C-alpha cells in the first residue's frame, strides 16, 4: 500500500513537469497556452453558470420542501415490490441532479441507520453506481451548444436504474 501512496504523491507533479518540458522541447509557449486555456475555461463557466444555478436551486427546493419524500411515498409500493428500500429513493433522485447534494443525503442515511447497515451500504454503492445525469448533460451539452441529445437521456436513465438495482443487490450480499 505504501507503493500506491508514493505514486499518488508524485503522479501530478511528474505529469505537470512532463507537460512543461515537452512544451519547451516542441517550442510551444507553454505559459501563454496555459493562460489561453484558463480564459477559455472561464468563458465556459460563464456560459453554463445560469443552468447550474437553476439546477442546484431546484434540487435544494425539492429537498427542503419535502417533495422528494412525497415522491418516495408515492412510488414506494413499486419500489418495495422490487425490494428497493424507499429510504434511498430520494437519494437516487437527487443523485441524478447533484452529486454534492446526494452526498449530504447519504451522510444523513449514515447518521440515521449507520454506515455498515443495509441502507448505508445501499447508499454508498449507489453513489458509485449512478451518475449525475442532468448535471453532466447540462454542463457538457451547454458548453458545446448541443440541443438534440437523442438517446443520451433514455440511456442514462436506464443505466441509472440498473445502477440502483445493482447497488441494492450488492448491498444485500455484503450485509
Residue with cell 445493482: 166
**From residue 174, how far is each of 13, 81, 171 by CA, in Å?**
38, 21, 5
Q: What pTM was computed for the model? A: 0.69
- pLDDT over threshold 90, residue 112: yes
pLDDT band at 97 (very low <50, low <70, confident <90, very high): confident
Position 55 scores a pLDDT of: 78
- pLDDT over threshold 90, residue 157: yes
Q: Answer whether 138's CB lies under 8 Å from 52's CB.
A: yes
Under the phi-then-psi rule, with left for phi > 0, alpha for psi from -120 to 50, and beta for the rest, what region is 95? alpha
**From residue 170, how far is each of 106, 119, 128, 164, 173 by CA, in Å?**
17, 11, 12, 10, 5
| SS3 category, 161 | helix
The predicted-structure confidence for 7-54, as pLDDT tens digits, reads as follows 888 999 999 999 999 999 999 999 999 999 999 989 888 887 887 788
Q: Cα 113 vs. chain centroid, distance in angstroms?
A: 23
- pLDDT over threshold 70, residue 1: no
Position 29 scores a pLDDT of: 92
Give the ranges where the chain is alpha helix by DSSP (H). 2-25, 30-65, 67-81, 89-95, 99-113, 118-129, 133-143, 152-174
Amino acid at each position: 500500500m505504501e507503493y500506491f501512496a508514493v505514486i499518488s504523491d508524485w503522479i501530478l507533479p511528474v505529469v505537470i513537469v512532463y507537460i512543461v518540458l515537452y512544451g519547451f522541447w516542441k517550442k510551444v509557449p507553454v505559459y501563454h497556452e496555459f493562460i489561453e486555456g484558463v480564459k477559455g475555461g472561464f468563458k465556459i463557466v460563464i456560459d453554463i453558470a445560469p443552468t447550474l444555478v437553476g439546477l442546484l436551486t431546484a434540487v435544494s427546493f425539492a429537498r427542503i420542501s419535502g417533495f422528494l419524500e412525497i415522491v418516495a411515498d408515492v412510488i414506494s409500493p413499486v419500489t418495495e415490490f422490487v425490494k428497493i428500500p424507499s429510504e434511498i429513493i430520494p437519494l437516487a433522485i437527487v443523485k441524478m441532479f447533484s452529486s454534492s447534494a446526494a452526498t449530504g443525503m447519504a451522510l444523513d442515511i449514515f447518521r440515521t441507520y449507520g454506515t455498515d447497515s443495509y441502507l448505508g451500504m445501499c447508499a454508498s454503492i449507489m453513489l458509485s453506481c449512478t451518475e449525475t445525469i442532468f448535471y453532466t448533460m447540462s454542463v457538457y451539452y451547454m458548453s458545446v451548444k448541443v440541443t438534440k441529445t437523442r438517446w443520451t437521456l433514455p440511456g442514462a436513465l436506464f443505466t441509472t436504474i440498473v445502477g440502483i438495482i445493482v447497488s441494492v443487490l450488492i448491498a444485500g450480499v455484503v450485509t
